[in-house]
Structure 1
Amino acid sequence: MSAETTVIRVGIVGCGEVAQTTHLPTLALLSHLFRVTALCDVSPGFLKHCAKKFGIRNTYSDYSALVKDPEVDLVMILTADEYHACIAVEAADAGKAVFIEKPMALTVEDADAIIEAEKRNNATILVGYMRRYAAAYERMKEEVASIKDIRYATVRDIIGPASQHSPLSDATHKADLSSRLTSQNSVFVAQSGTFSAAFSDFPDAANEDRLTRGRAIAQKALSPEQADSPRDVSTYRLLGSLGSHDLSAMRELLGVPRRCIAATRAQGDGAPFMTALFDYGGFTCTYETGIDEVADFDAHIEVIGDGKRVKISYDTPYVKGLPITIQVKERDSTGAYVERTIRPSYTDAYTLELESLHASLTRGKPVKTTPSDAKEDLDIFAMVMGALVN
């Protein structure tokens, strides 16, 4: 069997929304490259539903058992952020390849533990920043590279509608695993045609364990004052969830900013909104993110300079096949205004991400979104948290 047709056996930890709406369907469509052989979840409802719907025989309630399964080559970690590091380290130590949904980690200690496990086991570990695998994103990098003098950039990610039980809720206050069942993407998921199901049958011990881990993360990642503030913990979680998509893509396009000049948040108890201003030396970049009540997915990055404006726009990834486009505005050699729309591919970013992972596992292609790369997000999170003015 050639490397291109080698089928990688996959064990999935976490059978919630992202597994049901994106990864399990995409893996099923990529059956010539991957085969899901095992599932794990602490919820009996999630586990039974996904096993039956996707025809998967081996199921576990303990991730350690899945990691030891000899019929698993690749462990995909799609569970709560609090468990990413411990599962990744155990999987790498067991000789498995690892896929980690973003954010990889929310503390430097957890990020370093994953990086060390990757190195000592010579393991392949990919962090799931799927937007960076989009064909349009690769073209965006080329367009941005053609701008000799960047004057300004903006990164925007405002989606809705906000749900009553947002996963951005402070993990250390009044939250349990069921708070993550209905996400800020609920409208898009409901119209995705994937017919995902939600359950709340999490064991009390699992709820308490996650809360304990969440408190520990806050205490390690934030100052003592911020760790004791539900609002600050929620802001940090916003950066780690929705924000990690944008800030990671910003890093690859523009590099790591020198500093965060200022950051601010909306007042009140409503859905979160945040604005930050990054210093890139010769230019500034504005970052804005939030969740409102409008069923619109407004995510883009725009770079301006040298008489040229380049903008990549993302639609919701929960509806398969929606195009990711680039808009270029510039003057031609005659001085006339020219506007172009570039759509390199309809192939969705999740598919391209998994195809790239397969090439890494079978042909030795370098992984782009490595643990070391993902750790750089933590530097930007710290910049923003340190610059908050209210």
Structure 2
Amino acid sequence: MSPILRLGILGATDTVESTHLPALHALSTQFELTILHDASSEALQRCQKRFNIKETTTSAADVLNHPQVDLVLNLLPFEYHEQHTIAALEAGKHVMVEIPLSLGIDGLRRIRAATKKGSVNSTVEGGPKVFVGCARRYAPCFTDIFKKEVASIDRIYYARCRNIAGPLQLPDQKAAKKGDSNGTGFNLSLNGNTNGKNNTNGSLTVPNTIINTTKFHTLLADIFNVDDLTAERVAFCRFLGTRGAHDLSLMRELFGFPDAVASISITDPFYSGIFHYTDNAEDGNTFTMLYEAGVDAVPRCDSHLTVYGSGKTVSLEYNFPCPGATCGEGVMSVVVEEAEKPENIEAAVNGNTNGHSLDGNVNGDGVCNSLSWPRAKRTVYTSTAADAYEKQFRAMYSYFVSGDAPDAKTTTEDALDDLKLVHMIFEHYDRQCGTIRTPLG
């Protein structure tokens, strides 16, 4: 009989309550919700009652040192990923941490070292391991349909990844206005967009993310080994430490590493980039991908990854649940659009319709006008965010229990590839800003 992994969870935000906890609670034969941590007693009481969690605490140490916890879910903001992941590993516990695991090579090395150290006094079979959460990459629509449809395109001509969404919800607007912390050391800002001098950077009041500014700057200085971090670099790192990391990881799994990064634009809170790729065809066709992302004050999710071929366009559209919504409300869709030629289209183009004009409107030179052209065949496949999280957690369970889990693709080795792509982007940004003086830097 397979063992049940006892969970200790760090962080009980609205997003965790709407996505992670329902999926884990539904997998009761694999996971047991042992203890939940958060700074908000109200959130703890609500989650404990709803999901039948045994214990709650406002201290992260209670989770990290709990004798009846096999697996720690580190769902705190990015600047706490390395610190609590290492503490859990050294205590001999498995760890799942939301992407990104780290933005620095040294941080990744420290996590690997902690894994070896934790094996000495680990209570889990085979020693502790790390799994990185990126639910989009486990969604059935992505793994079973989207990747296959893209592979069927003879030649990719262009691709676009967009992630423009409305504001994240602050846990306590009153506390934010007063500048209070929520007990975890986070500085609450109504626009989440400080420039390091405790004043806002621009007039757009968009809550981007909640961070400990001092801790975040210290972390980035360690990652990039520089003392003078520009406001643009800090803003972009903050975005990559939240939503942006999911985009880049999805792009990398689909296309691999780009041949080159052509341009990076940072106009916080909007970001864009141009990447050049070579497909897997024998003749090595090249194509360009545009990445555009940002956060504004409009409550909607305009997010998709689209690939364009000559006769087929395949798009992955994702709208994961907003804070406060249920996991089942989030939907991922694959939209396939193909050119569907009528039987007499070739005759019409050649000026010979045999008495059957496509719409009675063929030009004298034998060329159909726009009204004569075939319409696209549109096919839509959907799966829910709940499906994605369930598949992710099943893969995670197999990885921790058996160690041989081919579906568990988001490991520390995979995180290293994500990190390489991030550094390709920053290396180009440094070259760009050092040689071209523009409003970008």
Taking the TM superposition and a 5 Å limit, the aligned residue runs for 1:208-247 are 210-222=212-224, 224=226, 227=229, 229-247=230-248
1:290 aligns with 2:314: no
User: 2:175 aligns to what?
Assistant: none
Secondary structure of 1:95's aligned partner: coil
1:373 aligns with 2:414: yes
Give the deviation of 1:162 after TM superposition: 6.2
1:85 aligns with 2:82: yes
Compared CA separation, residues 344 and 124, structure 1 to 2 (3 A): farther
Give the deviation of 1:61 after TM superposition: 4.2
CA contact (8 A) 1:103 1:244 kept: yes
Percent of aligned pairs sharing the same letter: 33
User: 1:382 aligns to what?
Assistant: 423
Compared CA separation, residues 29 and 332, structure 1 to 2 (3 A): same
Secondary structure of 1:251's aligned partner: helix
Superposed structure 1 runs of 4+ greater than 6 Å apart: none
Compared CA separation, residues 118 and 152, structure 1 to 2 (3 A): farther
The one of 310, 314, 317 equivalent to 1:313 is 317
What is the RMSD of the two structures over their aligned residues, measured on CA atoms?
Answer: 3.0
- Give the whole-Å Cα distance in 1 for the aligned partners of 2:412 and 2:195: 24
User: 2:142 aligns to what?
Assistant: 137
- Give the whole-Å Cα distance in 1 for the aligned partners of 2:196 and 2:38: 21
User: 1:325 aligns to what?
Assistant: 333
- Give the whole-Å Cα distance in 1 for the aligned partners of 2:12 and 2:69: 16
1:353 aligns with 2:392: yes
Compared CA separation, residues 379 and 167, structure 1 to 2 (3 A): farther
How high is the TM-score relative to the length of structure 1? 0.80
Give the deviation of 1:234 after TM superposition: 1.3
CA contact (8 A) 1:327 1:339 kept: no
Give the deviation of 1:56 after TM superposition: 2.9
- Identify the structure with bigger relative contact order (alpha carbons < 8 Å, sequence gap 6+): 1
State the Cα deviation string for residues 59-109 of structure 1 (Å, max 9, x = none).
Answer: 344434422322111110011212211222232233322110122122221
Taking the TM superposition and a 5 Å limit, the aligned residue runs for 1:1-390 are 1=1, 3=2, 6-42=3-39, 46-47=43-44, 50-118=47-115, 121=119, 122-138=127-143, 139-161=145-167, 165=189, 169-170=193-194, 172-174=196-198, 210-222=212-224, 224=226, 227=229, 229-266=230-267, 272-281=269-278, 282-318=286-322, 319-321=326-328, 322-331=330-339, 337-343=375-381, 345-346=383-384, 347-363=386-402, 364-366=404-406, 367-388=408-429, 389=433, 390=440
Give the deviation of 1:255 after TM superposition: 0.5
- Give the whole-Å Cα distance in 1 for the aligned partners of 2:390 and 2:197: 36
Secondary structure of 1:104's aligned partner: coil
- Give the whole-Å Cα distance in 2 for the aligned partners of 1:222 and 1:184: 22
CA contact (8 A) 1:172 1:214 kept: no
Compared CA separation, residues 23 and 162, structure 1 to 2 (3 A): closer
- Give the whole-Å Cα distance in 2 for the aligned partners of 1:142 and 1:53: 39
CA contact (8 A) 1:311 1:328 kept: yes
Equivalent AA in structure 1 for residue 218 of structure 2:
A
- How many correspondences in the alignment? 354
- Give the whole-Å Cα distance in 2 for the aligned partners of 1:167 and 1:145: 41
Per mean C-alpha deviation after superposition, the further-off stretch among 155-164 and 129-138 is 155-164
Secondary structure of 2:82's aligned partner: helix
Give the deviation of 1:285 after TM superposition: 0.8
CA contact (8 A) 2:18 2:321 kept: no
